[in-house]
Structure 1
Amino acid sequence: MNRVPYSPDHDLSGVNSLEELKAMAVACTRCGLRSGCSGVVFGEGNPEARLMLIGEGPGADEDRMGRPFVGKAGQLLDKILEAAGLERFTHTYIANVVKCRPPGNRVPRPDEAARCLPWLYRQIELVSPGIIVLLGSTALQNLIDPAARITEMRGRWLVSKSGIKIMPTYHPAALLRDVSKKRPVWEDFQKVRDEYRKIMNS
């Protein structure tokens, strides 16, 4: 993954639990997003999950409830997971590139994402998943390549330096705008399901 270097004042390598990391993230004011949202949406799920899902950032519903993927896109994601035989709180851990809602649900700016990514990278290290699903362009461009296009990369397995298998696919919100994307996402999640079963049976 396209790791953003930690600045000296934001080295999280000594944080050894998600609970401790969350407590620190809740107090973060490293970018302007914190002042314009209700609170930090850290992430949730099984801390020992072998499957991690990464989206863009909280929307209005997520900001209000303090949980990721609880709006219409999140409800659709739950249905996709269920159809694949996966349950979000049992089989997955879900987080976002940025943990505070950008104004008007706009795409996070590169500087905002860069300041927030150390939290996400430490989450990945602590969860230690075997598979990561990148939901949408923002996740793909911030974790893999700023020039990457989700239309070209979705459905293709990538592998991180540490051996994590990575599947980019469309964000569930894109499916709500364009139903023609539902079939490709379902095909991607079938690949994820099959790889997940291999990992669990190995």
Structure 2
Amino acid sequence: MSDKILPPLDRDQLIMQAAALANHLARAGVQWMPRPNLDTVQTLKSRFEAASATSSVDNAASSVAQNARPPVVDSGGTPSGGAAAAPSPPPPTQPPPRRPALSPMLVGEAGKPYPGVSLPVAQRESELAALASEVAACQRCPQLVRCRTQTVFGEGNAAARVVFFGEGPGADEDRSGRPFVGKAGQLLTKMIQACKFSREEVYILNTVKCRPPGNRNPEPEEIANCRPYFEKQIELIRPEYIVCLGAVSGQALLDSKLSVGRLRGQFHPYFDSKVIVTYHPAYLLRNPAAKKAAWEDLQMMLRDAGLI
């Protein structure tokens, strides 16, 4: 998580970053390009198709003439130039293809689009606030209701490109009502800043909204009870990337039983967001050697987004 100055972007990186920005603007519902003139588009299409048809006919005629031309034979009855015809030279080597604007590392096909339409930011914020009020009154998990001081809904930018998805509130979060404010939260803030974001630019939430007793992992039933809440949050925000912090959030979102070690290092689809699974900041505090792997996961996301 170095703060060194990045070198200037080359042409390909600029193209990647522009493509990522265009994708983000589209997700946020911003109309940023002029609408095409349909008559002009149809005229250009007709010209292109006519030119392509003419080119195909010319190429076919040239090929027929080439194949119909008889070989030149010397007095011995063999093609001129030696006892046997020289083999055709190999076709010229094609230049390597340019790298795509977005990385092709996505596992399988991209997920289907989020349901419904992408809402304006103000409407997203209003619906998130209404959902937060519903969560505050939730009584679905009797044990968590008895233990909590308050619910911890989530916070951040309603049009964030990146969502950080954790496990559940701890003691500090239970007191403050905000996600990731303890020691693990301080490390997460540094991770976010190393990605050249601020906490205000991303969105942070957990699988469950109440602190489990003794900071234990949430039970499957508790995650199932909170699933409609965190799924609705993500659906409203429609992030480009979802960073799952730890096994609990990764397994819950992807419906998987694989470990972080098996899930990390690649993208997974969730609707049309790209999911990265990496180590939870609390795990990194206990195992500092794993910070290098977590930073590699974040760099994979930044490269794909055209940010490095």
TM-score, normalization by structure 1? 0.87
User: Mind listing any 5+ residue stretches in structure 1 that lack a counterpart?
Assistant: 2-15
Residues 51-130 of structure 1 aligned to structure 2 (within 5 Å): 51-90=162-201, 92-130=202-240
Name the SS of the counterpart of 1:39 in structure 2.
coil
Matching of residue 189 in structure 1 with residue 298 in structure 2? yes
1:193 positional shift: 2.0
1:156 positional shift: 1.3
1:142 positional shift: 1.0
CA distance in 2 between counterparts of 1:22 and 1:170 reads 27
Whose Rg is larger?
2
Question: Which residue of structure 2 lines up, in the alignment, with residue 174 of structure 1?
Answer: 283
1:37-80: CA deviation from partner (whole Å, max 9, x where unpaired): 10100000001111111000000000011000000011001111
CA distance in 2 between counterparts of 1:104 and 1:140 reads 22
Question: Which residue of structure 1 lines up, in the alignment, with residue 257 of structure 2?
Answer: 147
Name the SS of the counterpart of 1:95 in structure 2.
strand
1:136-192: CA deviation from partner (whole Å, max 9, x where unpaired): 0000111113411111111211112x2110000000100000011100001111122
CA distance in 2 between counterparts of 1:195 and 1:30 reads 39
Matching of residue 18 in structure 1 with residue 131 in structure 2? no
1:118-144: CA deviation from partner (whole Å, max 9, x where unpaired): 100000011111110000000011111
Taking only aligned residues, the RMSD between alpha carbons, in angstroms, comes to 1.6
1:51 touches 1:196 (CA, 8 Å); kept in 2?
no
Name the SS of the counterpart of 1:159 in structure 2.
strand
1:50 touches 1:196 (CA, 8 Å); kept in 2?
no
Say how many residue pairs are matched: 183
1:167 touches 1:188 (CA, 8 Å); kept in 2?
yes
CA distance in 1 between counterparts of 2:199 and 2:264 reads 21
Name the SS of the counterpart of 1:114 in structure 2.
helix
TM-score, normalization by structure 2? 0.57
Name the SS of the counterpart of 1:185 in structure 2.
helix
Name the SS of the counterpart of 1:156 in structure 2.
coil
Name the SS of the counterpart of 1:191 in structure 2.
helix
Question: Which residue of structure 1 lines up, in the alignment, with residue 55 of structure 2?
Answer: none
CA distance in 2 between counterparts of 1:188 and 1:73 reads 18
Structure 1 letter corresponding to 2:221: D
Structure 2 letter corresponding to 1:51: V
Name the SS of the counterpart of 1:132 in structure 2.
strand
1:19 positional shift: 0.7
